[in-house]
Chains A and B, each alone.
Chain A
Amino acid sequence: MNWDRYRSVMEQYAIKTDDMATEDAYFMATHMPFALLEVYEGGQTTAKPSYKTESQIFDELICNPSNLHRMIIVRGNNGTGKSHLIRYMKAKLENSPSTIYNPKTEQIIFLRRLNNSVRGVFSQLLDQDVIRDQDVAEKMRRFVKSSESKDEASFKTEILFAYIAAVANDKSNTVYKAVYCRNIAQYLSDSRVQDHLMREDGAISRCYRVITTPSDQVLKETRIFTEDDFGSKEAKKVNRTVKRDGNPDAQDFVQTIFNDDDEVVKLVDYLSRFTGSVVQRCADISSETTKSVFEQLRRDLKKQGKNLTLFIEDFTGFTGIDSELITVLSTEHGGDYDYLCRVTAIIGITDGYYDQFKDNFKDRVTHQISVTERSFGTSDFLEQMSALYLNAIFSSPDDIHSWYKSGADINKLPQSGFALPCEWESVSINGCTLSLFPFNKASINKLYNLLPVKTPRMFLRDVIKRQLKEYFDGKEYGDEWKFPYNPGSVQMTNGPHSSAIDRNDNLSLDDQQRLKVLLAVWGDGSASGVKYADGSLFIGGVNKKFLNDIGLAQVSTIGEIEIREVQSLQVGVSSQEQELEPQPVIDEKKAPEPTKQKETPEERNYRRWMDDISSWYSSKTSLQYDDTYRTWIKVFLVGNNNQCGAINWQDIGIPAYIANERLSNLASFYIQDQSNNGREDRALVYVPRNVESRDMLIALLEHQYHKNWDFKDSTYYQQRLITWLEKNKRTICQKVMQAENYTVRMPIAVWGLELQFIKAIVYGYAVDRTPKTETIIRLFENFTPKQDGNYSTKEWADLVSFLKSKEAELDSAYDLLIKGHNSTMGAVAGSKDPRTFVYHADELLQAIQELFKAKWNPARFLQDTTDKNLLTTPVALLKDLEARLSTVADAEQLHFKNTKAKLEELIGDLSEANLLEVINAVKSLLSVFNQNGIPVKSALSDRFHNAPIEITQNILKALAAVDIKDENDTMAILSAYSNQSYSFTPSDSENNKTAMEVLTRFQQDLLEIERLAQQEEKKAKAAMSGFSGDDATDQIAEAAKSKLESIYDTVEAWEVI
């Protein structure tokens, strides 16, 4: 096969980069007549158009036997085929019989779109001998020559200075006052502004291209100055520098446009006014000269008895002299202008350009022909055009050239004779059957509709040429097939089959993609098989032989193969014969409106999400709407406020509260290459980019879109969804519980109860340490620090402060204990605010038994955890507390030892006998004090009110409580010191004290009594040392002395103690 030749013909002849460069033979062999061209009378665009075919326009407007003045504008967007139409009209006119076109009486001038810069137009005018005035011709030659040789930078500078000069000399005061114009000129003269305007996309570079674009290129500029030149981010930077340190006049002006879009637009419009004069100045052609060129031509032709038909494919090249040209061409012959010949001007112009200069044109234009999508966008047009191009590409160039030379009769168009791998779809044009291979009607229409800009030029370049290149490459090299190329995110309509292809390990990733594109675009969107009586097999509507032809021989059908007798509407059957010339619609005044159903917001979202997911999987793009998808996944796995998720968390041993809390935040879900920030390593549900994830996301999308599972292929999507779930469930559950399986879960009940136990002790709440129901119930209370908490040691007070500082973590741990061990019916969200309490008592009972066995020592249950989260918060707290608890226990022990030592200092050995003796003495002393009116605080005397033995036993009880034999049993020590069930006497108003409080109080009371005794001893001594000499007085004193001596004895006895 001549794959190289086909490619070469395609690139060199049939579909050139610019199709206007196509040589005449191929131009004629591929020309598709336009239908439904909009025709307007006059220059206004508001009137209703009539609709005509290309032939009708030729007959009615181009053929001009009555010699009517005509200025016809052919307008349309870029690529719609204006130039093609004009070129065809010109060719048709030239090939018309002499009754229509007689070279002796009609001069045709044809200015091509290629070479459409000012220089190119001058060259074409010179080449076609349009310039009769030799001086003018010489000027133009000089310009063409000099612009070719001139250095680009200096030419651009010349252009810029021409603008500056034009602005500086503007005294019209029409847009800006003259003084303002000087400021603008200064602004444009700033070197930074100049650099900006002369950048590659800047106004001056555009103007330079308009003037000098080489002859083998097509100029596409339509505007010289744009808003970007003064209002873009980059321009604003430049303006900021001018504002800061520019010329004062420039600074004045830049203030005007700084951050004012309206002023920028005003400046752009203002400078655009000078483009004509700048171009003329640079080309050294005056306005009058331009006019005279065409006026002279018309005079000369008139003298020769000729009329002028002027075809201008693209008017862009006349920038600068456009107004003059229009003026000259629009002057109607006859009357005062009898010396001018008749003109039929057919001028191609973009819609944008026309709108820009509409005011100049509108009164002079006789007709407008608008080429719109209706002119070429029909299926028939596209299919026939494709067939013509494909035929030209597969035909021998010699055959095409011979055909052209022999009159280019479409009815005698050579046929390629390309050997097809199988019967193939074709169209019949004027009796010629032309194959669409390797396209078919479906692919042609679908690929056209996928184009972002739907024009014949784009269709030929981005569909026919692009796909054929891949086909030829595949056929030639065979090892790296890329055909068909995926023009976008094309999807097979049969999602299940599409997914099955993705899971087909026999196909490479590239082949999977190719096959899916082929079935989506060429086929019926499925991979269903149909076998016909003749043995031919079709997969998804595409002949299996074609799949073999493009390196997809290993592809097989999905599902059962349907057996059919006769092929119908399958690829490979010729369609009804068609005439090449399409007919316009009957109602010429009213064109058919394309019936487009409005997309609903749901449909729009569905399409967006589907494209996003498909592109993420196939094209490795980032996922744009990942937060939406992560929400879907979350709801699917966990449910919502009312509904259960697909994982029955509670039933597989994961408390609802844990599942709900751990997966409540979207950050717990991470999809590979998601757009939103997130941390893959923190995610509990990780969704990698693979076919299973893609299928899962699409299943959720379908469910979301249909709002239930009652839709076609829902069973398939459920299968994909559940399969994804089952493949990932174990990992998800392990991450949620941070445990390999149910039996090795973290001891969260133990941790929770231990923390509650510690809190209770530290805050001074009594807790039974034995494993009883009451203990669990007690530990489920929310312990808070007591308001009047007095702590025996600084270390204990510090520990309370520490716990207060950890309030949030402790609350979290408390919730985990309380809610994490409650059962939840239905949606796990209900666990957050439970209304019923049916606890996992089995776990709690087991936990408390373990704690009891471990003497509630937290060290026994500590684990290393790297992650800090809901589950590990309790153990992290326990770790923090472990050392602190020991410190407090040690401090309390020391405090006890000191207190005990002080008591021993006062009392001696703390035996029952000693205590009883001291307490008896205290009571006696207090009695003496009382009898003698010596004041003693009532609280102090109250504490010694009860029987001495009772008080003694209470002291002994307190001593025993804190005398812990095992100094390593921290929790026993703290429990003992925390226990607030001690007092001096049952009637003690200050009962419910800790043992240490009782002992400390006792010690302090003894010291107070000692102080009182010493004080009274001093008083007694002083009193006993002197008498007055008065008998009566001395008698009384003697009595007092006796009493004092008694007190003294008692106090002395006390001191002995």
Chain B
Amino acid sequence: MFTKHPDNMRMEPTPERVYSICRLISQNSISKNDLKELVSLGKSNTSSSSSSIINYSLDVAEKDLDVIRLKDGKYSIVVDPVILNSPQSFRQYVAKKAFSDEDSTFFMFSRWYISKNEEVFALGSWEVQSKTAEREISKLKGIDENAALGWRFWAAFLGLGYLNETTLIPNMKTRIQDVLASSFSKQFNFNEPVRAMDFINWADSLFPECDLKNRLPLAFSAGLRTLSELGLIAFDLKKDTDKISLYKVEGEINEFSHITVAKEVQE
């Protein structure tokens, strides 16, 4: 899902399933057969789909996320179990993996989707979206509707947007909040204004799926605006200082010179 290219980004191993299986393994090492028996409650022998889904989910957990490993015929976790404490901690872990391989299909499609801004709304179905991405990004040749359908679950989970009918409403509130919560204080202080330019320079490496060098993309801008409305960050616009332009939206804040991140962003 996050490391391969080309990757058909199967739909079946959803974040819910992968997380649940990882948590099960974290309770006790378990053989593949026992795991299948338990996860399908005895149906893995009779239901090939259950068996396949479990296989795919194990693949994502093992090969894409490095959360589990098969040793001596048994799966066990190879990460700090803390990351499996909640879906949120799992998400933060997954995000680091998902956006670390710029050559993966998942990464390239994410970057393309974010770069399209509001143009994606005119594309309609996931089929058209995947075909457009294939046409516009040569490396995405061969990507199809099913891949886009699989991508959307993880994209929504990782906080790139919100699913609504055949659209992922671009808004990276969750993704940005996760990064701010884990990394902001390493560079800046909470509750203190930071120059917009410094903030964006810092964010640039942490959000490789976004192009922050030019006008901020819609998904990133919308995420910042939502965080602002939630009181988790505050924009300031001071005269005679460098400004950063958000993606223009009528009736909304469209530029800022400073940003203050509240400590509550970690909650």
Please name all residues of chain B whose beta carbon is closer than 8 Å to the beta carbon of A259 when the two chains form the complex: none
Interface bits B84-111 vs A (CB < 8 Å: 1, else 0): 0111100100000000000000000000
- Assess whether A840 is in contact with B226, with CB atoms less than 8 Å apart: no
Stretch at the interface among A24-32, A43-51, A712-720: A712-720
Does chain A have a CB within 8 A of B83? Answer: no
Is A648 a contact of B157 with CB atoms below 8 Å?
Answer: yes
* Chain B residues packing against A (C-beta within 8 Å): 11-12, 14-17, 19-21, 23-24, 26-27, 34-35, 37-43, 47, 49-50, 53-54, 57, 85-88, 91, 118, 121-122, 124, 152-153, 156-157, 162-167, 169-171, 173, 218, 222, 225-226, 229-230, 247, 249-252, 254
Question: CB distance B38 to A773 under 8 Å?
Answer: yes
Cβ of A560 under 8 Å from chain B = yes
Note all chain B residues with C-beta closer than 8 A to A823. 14, 16-17, 20
Q: Enumerate chain A residues within 8 angstroms of B57, measured Cβ to Cβ.
A: 838
A525 CB to nearest B CB, Å: 12
- Find B11's partner among A643, A719, A722, A826 (CB 8 Å cutoff): A826
Which 7 pairs between the two chains have the least Cβ-Cβ distance?
A: A496-B251, A842-B23, A842-B24, A496-B250, A650-B16, A500-B251, A710-B121
Q: Tell me the smallest distance from the CB of A707 to a CB of chain B, in Å.
A: 9
A52 at the A/B interface (Cβ < 8 Å)?
A: no
Which residues from 772 to 803 on chain A have a C-beta closer than 8 Å to any C-beta of chain B? 773, 776-777, 780
Is A709 an interface residue when CB atoms closer than 8 A count as contact?
yes
> Once the chains bind, are A841 and B39 in contact (CB under 8 Å)?
yes
Consensus secondary structure, chain A interface: helix
Interface-side segment among A99-107, A416-424, A620-628, A723-731: A723-731
**Residue among B27, B38, B156, B225 facing the most chain A CB atoms (10 A cut-off):** B38
B40 touches A722 (CB 8 A): no
Tell me if A722 and B251 are in contact (CB < 8 A). Answer: no
Chain A, 518-544, contact with B by CB distance < 8 Å: what is the 0/1 string?
000000000000000000000000000
A710 and B122 form a contact (CB under 8 A)? yes
How many interface residues does A have (CB within 8 Å)?
A: 59
Cα A836 to Cα B44 with chains together (Å) = 10
How far, in whole Å, are A497 and B251 apart by their CA atoms in the complex? 5
A722:B157 contact, CB within 8 angstroms: no
Inter-chain CA distance A650–B87, complex, in Å, is 10
Give bound CA distance, A805 to B73, whole Å.
49
A825-B14 contact in complex given A722-B169, A773-B37, C-beta closer than 8 Å? yes
How far, in Å, is A321 (CB) from chain B's closest CB? Answer: 65
Does A499 count as interface, using CB distance less than 8 angstroms? yes
Q: Give A789 to B238 CA distance when docked, in angstroms.
A: 82
B153, B165, B252: which has the most chain A beta carbons within 10 Å?
A: B165
| Residue contact B121 to A709, C-beta cutoff 8 Å | yes
Question: A780, B41: Cβ atoms under 8 Å?
Answer: yes
- A727 in contact with B230 (CB, 8 Å): yes
How far is A426 from B194 in the complex, measured between Cα atoms in Å? 51
Instruction: Name A528's closest neighbour in chain B (CB-CB).
Output: B250
Chain A residues near B222: list those with CB within 8 A. Answer: 715, 718-719, 722
A651 adjacent to B156 (CB under 8 Å): yes
Q: Are B53 and A644 in contact (CB under 8 A)?
A: no
Residue of B whose beta carbon sits closest to that of A822: B41
- What mask results when residues 207 to 226 of chain A are scored 1 for a CB within 8 Å of chain B, else 0? 00000000000000000000
Q: Are A494 and B169 in contact (CB under 8 A)?
A: no
Contacts of B11 on A, CB cut-off 8 Å? 825-826
Do A777 and B121 touch across chains, with their CB atoms under 8 A apart? no
Identify which of B50, B118, B165 contacts A715 (C-beta below 8 A). B118
CB pair B12–A643 under 8 Å, yes or no, is no
Distance in angstroms from A737 CB to nearest chain B CB is 13
**Which residues of A have CB within 8 Å of B39?**
838-839, 841
How many whole Å from A884's CB to the nearest CB in chain B? 29
Nearest chain-A residue to B26 (Cβ)? Answer: A842
Closest to A741 in B: B86
- Tell me the residues in window 538-564 of chain A with beta carbons closer than 8 Å to chain B beta carbons: 558-560
Q: A651-B153, A715-B222, A825-B153 are in contact. List 15 more A-B contacts (CB 8 A).
A: A494-B251, A643-B163, A646-B163, A648-B153, A727-B229, A823-B20, A836-B50, A836-B53, A837-B50, A839-B38, A839-B39, A842-B20, A842-B21, A844-B41, A845-B27
B164–A646 contact, CB under 8 A?
Answer: yes
What residues on B are CB-neighbors of A357 within 8 Å?
Answer: none
- Give A650 to B156 CA distance when docked, in angstroms: 11
Nearest to B122 among chain A residues (CB) is: A710
User: Quick check: A841 and B252 within 8 Å, CB to CB?
Assistant: no
In the complex, what's the smallest C-beta–C-beta distance from A104 to chain B, in angstroms? 72
Q: Is there contact, CB below 8 Å, between A726 and B226?
A: yes
Max chain B C-beta neighbours (<10 A), residue from A494, A839, A846: A839
A560: nearest chain-B partner, CB-CB: B254
Contact residues of A between 25 and 64, Cβ < 8 Å to B: none
Contacting residues, chain B, for A713 (C-beta < 8 A): 249-251
- Chain B CB count within 10 A is highest, among A718, A742, A780, for A718
In the complex the two chains form, is B251's CB within 8 Å of A559's CB?
Answer: yes
Determine if A841 and B53 form an interchain contact, defined as CB atoms under 8 angstroms apart: no
Q: Which of B26, B86, B252, B254 contacts A653 (CB 8 A)?
A: B86
Q: A743 interface residue, CB < 8 Å from B?
A: yes
A134 within 8 A of B: no
A841, B47: Cβ atoms closer than 8 Å? no
- Which residues does chain A contribute within 8 Å of B121, judged by CB atoms? 708-710, 714
Any B CB within 8 A of the CB of A652: yes
Q: Can you list 18 A-B contacts with CB-CB less than 8 angstroms, sorted by A residue number?
A: A495-B251, A496-B251, A559-B254, A636-B164, A646-B164, A648-B15, A648-B153, A652-B88, A708-B124, A722-B169, A722-B171, A722-B226, A773-B34, A837-B43, A837-B50, A841-B38, A842-B23, A842-B26
A645 CB within 8 Å of chain B? yes
Contacts of B88 in A (CB 8 A): 652, 742
CB < 8 Å: which of A499, A646, A742, A843 contacts B87?
A742
Please state if A716 and B252 are interface contacts (CB–CB under 8 Å): yes
In the bound complex, residues from chain B placing their C-beta under 8 Å from that of A723 are: 225-226, 229-230
Residue in contact with A722 in the complex, picked from B27, B118, B124, B173, CB distance below 8 Å: B173
- A846–B26 Cα distance when bound, in Å, is 11
- Taking a contact as CB atoms under 8 Å apart, the answer to whether A651 and B15 are in contact is yes
Is A496 a contact of B15 with CB atoms below 8 Å?
A: no
Interchain CB contact under 8 A, B40 and A709:
no
- Residue in contact with A643 in the complex, picked from B41, B47, B166, CB distance below 8 Å: B166
Enumerate chain A residues within 8 angstroms of B225, measured Cβ to Cβ.
Answer: 719, 723
B14 in contact with A650 (CB, 8 Å): yes
Q: Enumerate chain A residues within 8 angstroms of B87, measured Cβ to Cβ.
A: 651-653, 742
Min Cβ gap A832→B in Å is 17
For the complex formed, measure the closest distance between the CB of A756 and the CB atoms of chain B, giving whole angstroms: 12
Answer whether A840 and B20 are a contact pair too, CB < 8 Å, given A716-B250, A723-B225, A777-B42.
yes
Task: Closest B residue to A835 by CB, please name it.
Answer: B49
Closest to A497 in B: B251
CB distance from B49 to the nearest CB of A (A): 5
Within the complex, what minimum Cβ distance (angstroms) separates A524 from chain B? 13
**How many angstroms between the C-alpha atoms of A780 and B43 in the bound complex?**
12
- Distance (whole angstroms) from the CB of A728 to the closest CB of chain B: 11
Report chain B residues within 8 Å CB of A715: 118, 218, 222, 247, 249
Bound: A444/B41 CA distance, A:
74
User: Among the listed B34, B153, B226, B250, which residue makes an inter-chain contact with A559, where contact means beta carbons less than 8 Å apart?
Assistant: B250
In the complex, chain A residues whose CB is within 8 Å of the CB of B250: 494, 496-497, 558-559, 713, 716
Does B16 contact A651, Cβ atoms closer than 8 Å?
yes
- Name the CB-closest residue of B to A652: B87
Contacts of B163 in A (CB 8 A): 639, 643-646, 648
For B87, B124, B230, which residue has the most chain A Cβ atoms within 10 angstroms?
B87
What A residues does B157 contact at CB under 8 A? Answer: 648, 651
Tell me the bound Cα distance from A553 to B230 in angstroms. 29
Closest approach, in angstroms, between the C-beta of A621 and any C-beta of chain B? 25
Docked pose: A742 CA to B23 CA in angstroms: 14
Contact B162 A722 (CB under 8 A): yes
- When chains A and B are docked, how far (Å) is the Cα of A823 from the Cα of B50? 11
Q: How far is the CA of A721 from the CA of B53 in the complex (A)?
A: 34
A1046 to B253 alpha-carbon distance, docked (Å): 113
Among B16, B19, B34, B249, chain A packs the most CB atoms within 10 A around the CB of: B16
